[in-house]
Structure 1
Amino acid sequence: MEIERIDYGDAVRSLAEQERIDISDFESKRQASPEYKTEKEKSKRMTKLAQEFFVGQLESKEGVFALSYLKKERGLSDQLVKELGLGYAPGQSQVFFSYFQKHGFSLEDLATIGLAKQGQHEMYAFFRDRLIVPIRDQLGNTIAFGARALQPGQEPKYLNSPESIMYDKSKVLYGLDHLKKGVKDHQAIIVVEGYFDVIALQVAGLNIGVATCGTSLTDAHVATLQRYHDHLYFLFDNDSAGIQATLRGLAIAYGQGLYPKIISLADKGVKDIDELIRNNDQSQEQVKELIQQAKDGFVWASEYYLSMFDVTTPVDRKKIMQGLFDLVHAAKTMSTQNLFLEQIAQSLRMDYALVMSQYRQYIKTEKRLFRPNKGSQIAENPESQQARIDQKLFILGALLYDDFWMSLQIDPAWIDTIQQILHLTGTSLESYIDQLPVRQIRREKEIANLGDNTGDKNTPFAKQIIVPYIHSLQKSAFKYLNSEQKQQLLQLSGKLR
């Protein structure tokens, strides 16, 4: 249950489905009871009722237009409409409210999961006169809704449920409920921009599309996808926003050790995959061809920056390098970073040593373009949080003493190495500096009056303060480092032995 992040009830239902055990009688008795043990259970019941209501309204007199739109404009079959659970929200709030009141729920209850909202004079249904797309978890349970406008001038064009006890946009992906089977058949995942891009891929017979729900791709999204497959493709809209989304997505994926390929629509004369599929009878074959033609993410990024800027001018060359350095800096391993730097040197026809020198300067002086948002961080248990703190403290212990390493005649490149590892572990120097005995170190340094002998590892200062401190941190943190970090840091700390 913890691996899939589902509760006990969902785990039971999933197991029953796998073993083909009928629990419908139990479910009906459970739903008939007005008692709810938790707010989440109550929210699930309301969301399920809303889903049933919207599906029913699609067959109503008012909903016929929405159904016609799905079939004629989007090319969906009756079977696919049913499988996706698509529905319609009527224009009048009272129809929606009456349905829930008959089931014993108040308007205030609906407001807790974003189905109702307080207006200036009265409450109103959040979704009105819109096509409804249910957002489901990996087990197929509806947890929220997306909605599309159907009338000209109706704004916004797309509307999503606000976050609730069941729905966290930074973690949820549309299309996840179909992904397991699709990945098994096609061995790939395509990340697209919107619901109808995912649906278009399903129209083409490819259940391998997922989309974020009105937010940018996050660490949590990538971590979820990694559980299904590591062959990741980005296929965002063919516009400026789509390009920026691709660059941000690459940085996030690189940080988790995934290296997506990019499917480009630049020469297809369409804005998105939805438009391409709707305009093409041989859509599945064409999409498969696009997958075959997909480019490595870093190669795509290099070509993009080279097409946007003039490599022969110093100012534009710097912009190209800064954009690519953002991706290098996001990469999880030193070997990958070195590979990317070699590719930059080849693309710009520069000496590798010069590119490396520029990259070191970038690390020291430039602000990062892509910084993880607080909301995008994956929750950690207390043990792993402490592990990260121990690891950070160890690295910070080394970082504090640049002059110490330098005076031991250690190559300055080692300092850059430590700083890169610092980035890889998500460390903020400012956040943890207070946890180090800085005042004691400074006081001891003044008392010792070491002068030019600061780097002598046989001095009292080095013996009593620096060496024991770093070694103790190493002992507590070493098991949390990967093999490459261990090798780097062992060589560095070995200078102190």
Structure 2
Amino acid sequence: MPRIPEDILQRIRDATDIVDLISEHVQLVKKGRNYSGLCPFHDEKTPSFSVDPERQFYHCFGCGVGGNVFKFIQEIDRVTFVEAVKFLADRAGVALPERSGPSREETEAADNLYRANDLAQKYFHHLLLNDDVGASARTYLQTRRLSGETIERFGLGYAPPEWDALLKVAGRRGLSPQILERAGLALPRSTGSGHYDRFRDRIAFPIANLSDRTIAFGARALQPDQEPKYLNSPETPIYHKGRVLYGLADTRNAIRRQDAALVVEGYMDLISLAQADIQHVVATSGTALTEDHCRLLARYARQVVLLFDGDAAGSTAAMRACEALLGTGLDARVVSLPSEHDPDTFVQTHGSDALLKRAENAQSVLDFYLKQLAKQHDLSSVEGKARAVERLKPLLAKPRDAVRRDLLLREVAERLSVDEQSLRHDLQASIRRPQQPRKAVAEPSPIATPAPPRHELELIGLLLNFPQFIPQTIQGFAPDSLSDSRTQALCRTLFDHHAHGKAIDLGMIISELEDDALTRLAAQCAAQGFDEEQVERQWRDYLLYFRKNALQKRIDNAR
């Protein structure tokens, strides 16, 4: 099977909401945190087909099918993995490389970018916590009232003032200056000879993807005359700032529980709110909120509340974010802070309850946008209304949902006192949204082999859902302790991911598995339910159970 770059697969998965995709074929109903419906792969009267929007996979408890977005298209349309990738890439507007897969050199190059960013995060973090060179940075963070626990949680670090400190550390670990340049961590000297560190004498905020791997940095200057105040990583093959939200890997569970996300602009805004026990928050990382960001947030919550700075720049940024949000089905709202405050200073001054109360009473995106237009144009004049309508027309054409588009159009016509039919007529040319053709549903091959033992499925499921237990499991457990070759293979896959420093991401693991039976089994294992308060006890019980089995086998073989 041709190899497709991991970062391309990640971008496609991030841009594809599995609930939206499967809803084109199955009528889904929300039940708890998941969605359920009648399985499209076998006849049934009682729904046994489950879709997990957070981890982006599906599983049928009836016939055993399961997988991620790629596997669903493969099975529903009977196409190859590469064809499924091409279909979803086209659907999501993600460009694929010209060739079907990267060379070994290209694959290693992408891996090196992850290694470089991971090394930089660990190095910067060590200097901040343990080295005298980080003393000024520690003092600064204390003045910002950040606790040691918060610094540890977000992996903050300090980039030293030397021009080549990181380059030297990386070189000793086999990472060349060219690799650091491609990772956005170093720059070529203007003389054309050699490189120097991009981040120097700055607080480093590591930016992680949804697999919790460091892919970029934001860095704040410590010296008052140092420009720019915030310096961000450039776009790289593994970092696309318009598709990444700072903090989401850490806060997505809280966002899902609240069914709402507070969106702030700055790294410190997010960290300050999180320390104040406002956990359902994300930040844009050095860019405006994009439609890709909105699609990502829609996986976890139905409501988005913009919480930007109260000054003119914050209002401008909020307007751009509104333009991205109006085209979504999200319940989008905007909090207007006093002009002298940003979210960080507001929560430090007034407390978390005051901030949450403002979020509860936030105005709708359309209300905010119209009020901002009224500051820019005289809406009592014909010319002012005409200009406002021109600004609004492309936004009104964005929603895919015809009902939502119609309601927005009516409200705008009423608020601006313009003729609704005339406005509707002007919009017709903007709406050209051909629907994706549906292909015939085909039956997947039946499962012929018996299922692995229940305890083996549950152990793999526990490790998939709670990967923090993998390091300890490796120390005293061998995959051969399992009796089924398929659970052995999944166990080795998890252990290999940990050994190579890869995050345990179910979607990417499913993409890497070339065996359909293993793909289904991985989804089945991940669908196992666990009580978070009892999970450590369950983990110890499983290890004890398999150790006893292994001992009994040795005794039996010795007889």
Aligned equivalents of 2:396, 2:107: Cα separation in 1: 49
Q: How does 1:280-429 map to 2 (within 5 A)?
A: 280=350, 283-348=351-416, 350=417, 354-361=419-426, 363=427, 416=428, 419-422=429-432, 424=433
- Could you tell me which residue of structure 2 aligns to residue 102 of structure 1? 172
Which of residues 270, 273, 285 in structure 1 aligns to 2:340?
A: 270
Question: What is the SS of the residue equivalent to 2:218?
Answer: strand
Q: Quickly say closer, same or farther: Cα 1:255–1:345, change in 2 above 3 A.
A: closer
TM normalised by structure 1 equals 0.63
Higher relative contact order (CA 8 A, sep 6+): 2
- Could you tell me which residue of structure 2 aligns to residue 114 of structure 1? 184
Which of residues 16, 33, 38 in structure 1 aligns to 2:108?
A: 38
CA-CA distance at 1:190 after TM superposition: 1.3
The answer (yes or no) to whether the contact 1:251–1:331 under 8 Å persists in 2 is no
What does the per-residue CA deviation read over 1:147-191, in whole Å, with 9 as the maximum and x for residues that have no partner?
Answer: 001101100111111222221112111111122222144321112
- Could you tell me which residue of structure 1 aligns to residue 289 of structure 2? 217
- Could you tell me which residue of structure 1 aligns to residue 137 of structure 2? 66
Aligned equivalents of 1:103, 1:311: Cα separation in 2: 63
Q: Quickly say closer, same or farther: Cα 1:209–1:55, change in 2 above 3 A.
A: same
The answer (yes or no) to whether the contact 1:178–1:208 under 8 Å persists in 2 is no
Question: What is the SS of the residue equivalent to 1:117?
Answer: strand
The answer (yes or no) to whether the contact 2:150–2:271 under 8 Å persists in 1 is no
Aligned equivalents of 1:128, 1:243: Cα separation in 2: 31
Q: Please, which moves more after superposition, 240-249 or 126-135? A: 240-249
Amino acid at match of 1:140: D
- Could you tell me which residue of structure 1 aligns to residue 232 of structure 2? 160
More helix by share: 1
Question: What is the SS of the residue equivalent to 2:310?
Answer: coil
- Could you tell me which residue of structure 2 aligns to residue 460 of structure 1? none
CA-CA distance at 1:336 after TM superposition: 2.2
What does the per-residue CA deviation read over 1:6-31, in whole Å, with 9 as the maximum and x for residues that have no partner?
Answer: 89xxxxxx9xxxxxxxxxxxxxxxxx
CA RMSD, 1 decimal:
2.8
CA-CA distance at 1:90 after TM superposition: 0.5
Q: 2:326 aligned with 1:261, yes or no? A: no
- Could you tell me which residue of structure 2 aligns to residue 28 of structure 1? none
Aligned equivalents of 1:189, 1:259: Cα separation in 2: 10
Question: What is the SS of the residue equivalent to 2:187?
Answer: strand
Q: Please, which moves more after superposition, 331-340 or 157-166? A: 331-340
What does the per-residue CA deviation read over 1:355-395, in whole Å, with 9 as the maximum and x for residues that have no partner?
Answer: 3314534x4xxxxxxxxxxxxxxxxxxxxxxxxxxxxxxxx
Q: Quickly say closer, same or farther: Cα 1:95–1:303, change in 2 above 3 A.
A: closer
CA-CA distance at 1:60 after TM superposition: 1.8
- Could you tell me which residue of structure 2 aligns to residue 236 of structure 1? 308
The answer (yes or no) to whether the contact 1:170–1:218 under 8 Å persists in 2 is yes
Aligned equivalents of 2:401, 2:258: Cα separation in 1: 28
Aligned length: 341
The answer (yes or no) to whether the contact 2:311–2:339 under 8 Å persists in 1 is no
Question: What is the SS of the residue equivalent to 1:260?
Answer: strand
Aligned equivalents of 1:300, 1:126: Cα separation in 2: 38
Q: How does 1:72-221 map to 2 (within 5 A)?
A: 72=143, 74-121=144-191, 122-221=194-293
Runs of 4+ in 1 over 4 A off after TM superposition: 1-7, 476-480
Aligned equivalents of 1:421, 1:479: Cα separation in 2: 21
Amino acid at match of 1:221: H
Q: Which runs of 5+ in 2 are unaligned?
A: 1-5, 15-54, 56-104, 440-559
Question: What is the SS of the residue equivalent to 1:190?
Answer: strand
**Largest Rg, 1 or 2:** 1
Q: Quickly say closer, same or farther: Cα 1:6–1:339, change in 2 above 3 A.
A: closer
What does the per-residue CA deviation read over 1:306-344, in whole Å, with 9 as the maximum and x for residues that have no partner?
Answer: 344333222222233333334322233332233223223
The answer (yes or no) to whether the contact 1:254–1:332 under 8 Å persists in 2 is no
- Could you tell me which residue of structure 2 aligns to residue 410 of structure 1? none
Q: Which runs of 5+ in 1 are unaligned?
A: 8-13, 15-34, 364-415, 426-475, 481-497
Question: What is the SS of the residue equivalent to 1:311?
Answer: coil
Question: What is the SS of the residue equivalent to 1:156?
Answer: coil
